[in-house]
Amino acid sequence: MTRLDPMVAIYPGSFDPVTVGHEDIARRALRFADQVVVAVAHTPTQAKRSYFSLEERLEMLEEVFADDERIECTSFDGLLVDFARSRESRFVIRGLRAVSDFEYEFQMAQMNRELWNEFETMFLVPNVDFSFLSASLVREVARLGGDISSFVSPSVLRRFQAQGLEGEGL
């Protein structure tokens, strides 16, 4: 890899669903990366059942980032480092909202580096307006009938509405 190669950064996650906070991080990464690959993990590290199927999560991401050809959305199975290698990238982007995120992120970053010494994790801080936002809170608020319209894109909102989760203001 030379300095002239395009800089490809992988932005992995569960994206269950993609929020405006995730969107902010992916677009911020384009300030230094030529291409951002938003990659939905098939097998999250922590055993958790997803709310939306892999296909639905990917479709929502594709809708959200349809306006920018520098952002590609895909999914991957297996280890993140193997996926990154297959895309000829050694840079991963993760959002860091608060100190509480740090322990989990630090552990993953170190493990990934153990698995591949060349691998670099780059932490980006989201816009302060999104520092409280998480996909799990969005799911909970939607489930309990709250208004999530400022936390997700219209296409994600429609998915919740299609499931009959229509809180006030939706």
List interacting residues with ligand PNS (CB under 6 A): 12-14, 41, 43-45, 79-80, 108, 111-112
Instruction: Look up residue 138 and give its two tokens.
Output: 């969005």
Q: Which is nearer to ligand PNS, 89 or 112 (CB)?
A: 112
| Nearest distance in Å: CB 168, ligand PNS | 28
d(CA 79, CA 160): 30
| Nearest distance in Å: CB 100, ligand PNS | 13
Long-range contacts of 49-55 (CB under 8 A, 24+ apart): 50/14, 50/16, 51/16, 51/17, 51/139, 52/16, 52/17, 52/159
Q: Which is nearer to ligand PNS, 124 or 170 (CB)?
A: 124
| Nearest distance in Å: CB 141, ligand PNS | 18
Q: Which is nearer to ligand PNS, 93 or 142 (CB)?
A: 93
Q: Which is nearer to ligand PNS, 5 or 55 (CB)?
A: 55
